[in-house]
Structure 1
Amino acid sequence: MATRLDNVVVDAADPLALAGFWSAALGVPISYHDENEVDVGLPGFDLVFVPVAEPKVEQNRVHLDLASQSADDHAAIVARLLLLGAEHADIGQGPEVPWVVLTDPEGNEFCVLEYRDEYSGIGPVAAVVVAAHDSLAQARFWAEATGRTVTRSGPDWASLPGETGASLEFVHSPATRAAKNRVHLDVRPRPGDDQGSDVARLLAAGAVPADIGQGDVPWTVLADPEGNQFCVLRPAATSIRTGD
């Protein structure tokens, strides 16, 4: 029994417009939309935009790292994203880093990485990156939550590659979360598995129940050991917001 990473969910003031930016940025079409969500399908997970009224108030603890395939490709990706509406961002990275930090039109931070061998041919998204106080402990919890394996780690980072598409990576950050996560992960039970059993398994692994005002919904909201909210969906649902 193991859940898998199903979605990266982004709160948005204008989900359709923000999904349009990311669709153009990643070169993949919008795969689904209704009044509750807009989806951009990627290898290994969907990027899902949902409407919220609350404004962004702090740096996101989850962000995307985009891949590039050469120095020229890196420069071209950055230039194209700026034309689409991205802006340069200073999050304290300093001038010496080889990647470029940008924000999307609603202020969500993301990085365009320089070419790296480990991401060659991976697709437009190299990694989903989560800030962590204890990167290895968080990676071990999320290995349990996603069925992935911790394959590489260092003093302040750990990586869980997927069968296809982006890695899930945990990078040390001393920052603390002051508000609800504006970007969060959804996991889904495998076909034939039981949502309640998977929720119980994740609670035993260190998750705790979370109330973000979700009310009566078909998914279960939990928080990981560092307080990041995530959702456990029902198996075989076609829409994460309706649970159909």
Structure 2
Amino acid sequence: MPSRLAALALDAHDPARVARFWAALLDRRPVEDARGVLLPGSDTQVGLRFVPSRSERTGRDRVHLHLTSAADGDQQRTVERALALGGRHLDVGQLPEEGHVVLADPEGNELCVIEAGNAYLAGCGPLGELACDGTRAVGLFWSAALGWPLVWDQDEETAIQSPYGGTKVAWGGPPVAPRHGRDRQRLDLAVVGGDLAGEVERLTGLGATRLRDLDDGTVELADPDGGEFVLAPDEA
């Protein structure tokens, strides 16, 4: 059985602070655990985990989050709330005519607040998408790894989505930015059924690379693009 996508893990100098920011935006309750602060997800919404780290950001991150707007006025209210919570506007070269608003959370993680009426993210819920830097091959890998169908496959861009719907995970295709050391953002997978060794074997058979066994009993791997991810026993 495929692993379950438990969360997107984000390195943070102050996990509690950045977790409070996202909890307020997404209306979730933070939960502290051995690996940091978790905002639990659901069958249709990906969780977020904030992991203590002193590493510094070098270059742009390879994942950013898209928040949706259900009705007119929601986008402005979300932007105002984010700014009040410690976020800031971010200039990434967006054009004035583009409808989304680009912000950064208190530790610089990029998020886009999408305007109401966006057909691509319709029905995806508040956390509409994890927008990732990556090739078509890595999108196909993750579709097989998670058992999530492709819902977009065009011009080297791919997106997958849980069979239950909800948050999409997308890859923008080439050119892919070069990596600068360890990723500050990683997918956290939970092993369904408890067979960690068997799941590592399955994922490496799909094209992943085993990197290291961590002290907390988890295993760190890399996808075919070199993107790091963590495999852990399922505690759900």
TM-score, with normalisation over the residues of structure 2? 0.90
Distance 1:139 1:215, change over 3 A: closer
What is the rounded CA distance, in whole Å, between the counterparts of 1:35 and 1:161 in structure 2? 28
What is the rounded CA distance, in whole Å, between the counterparts of 1:150 and 1:220 in structure 2? 26
Q: Which one-letter code corresponds to 1:232 in the other structure?
A: L
Structure 2 residue 71 is matched with structure 1 residue 70: yes
Residue 39 of structure 1 contacts residue 49 of structure 1 at CA under 8 Å; is this kept in 2? yes
The Cα of 1:173 is off from its aligned counterpart by 5.0
User: 1:242 matched to which residue of 2?
Assistant: none
User: 1:219 matched to which residue of 2?
Assistant: 218
Kindly provide the CA deviation profile for residues 86-117 of structure 1, in whole angstroms up to 9, marking residues without a partner as x: 11112233333221111000011111112223
Residue 187 of structure 1 contacts residue 231 of structure 1 at CA under 8 Å; is this kept in 2? yes
What is the rounded CA distance, in whole Å, between the counterparts of 2:154 and 2:97 in structure 1? 20
Residue 7 of structure 2 contacts residue 41 of structure 2 at CA under 8 Å; is this kept in 1? no
The Cα of 1:209 is off from its aligned counterpart by 1.8
Task: Write the mapping of 1:81-92 to structure 2, written as runs, cut at 5 A.
Answer: 81-92=82-93
Residue 158 of structure 2 contacts residue 173 of structure 2 at CA under 8 Å; is this kept in 1? no
SS of the residue corresponding to residue 120 of structure 1 reads coil
Indicate the percent of aligned positions where both proteins have the same amino acid. 33
Residue 218 of structure 2 contacts residue 230 of structure 2 at CA under 8 Å; is this kept in 1? yes
What is the rounded CA distance, in whole Å, between the counterparts of 1:205 and 1:123 in structure 2? 30
Counterpart of 2:235 (choices 227, 234, 237) is 237
User: 1:18 matched to which residue of 2?
Assistant: 18
What is the rounded CA distance, in whole Å, between the counterparts of 1:220 and 1:95 in structure 2? 44
The Cα of 1:34 is off from its aligned counterpart by 4.4
What is the rounded CA distance, in whole Å, between the counterparts of 1:220 and 1:35 in structure 2? 15
What is the rounded CA distance, in whole Å, between the counterparts of 2:156 and 2:235 in structure 1? 36
What is the rounded CA distance, in whole Å, between the counterparts of 2:225 and 2:190 in structure 1? 20
What is the rounded CA distance, in whole Å, between the counterparts of 1:93 and 1:172 in structure 2? 19
The Cα of 1:39 is off from its aligned counterpart by 1.1
Count of paired positions = 231
The Cα of 1:43 is off from its aligned counterpart by 2.8
Q: Which one-letter code corresponds to 1:114 in the other structure?
A: E
SS of the residue corresponding to residue 117 of structure 1 reads coil
Provide structure 1 residue ranges, at least 5 long, that are not aligned to the other structure: 239-244
Q: Which one-letter code corresponds to 2:151 in the other structure?
A: T
SS of the residue corresponding to residue 127 of structure 1 reads strand
Distance 1:233 1:3, change over 3 A: same
CA RMSD of aligned residues (A): 1.8
What is the rounded CA distance, in whole Å, between the counterparts of 2:228 and 2:60 in structure 1? 15
User: 1:181 matched to which residue of 2?
Assistant: 183
The Cα of 1:118 is off from its aligned counterpart by 4.1
Provide structure 2 residue ranges, at least 5 long, that are not aligned to the other structure: none
User: 1:94 matched to which residue of 2?
Assistant: 95
The Cα of 1:59 is off from its aligned counterpart by 1.2
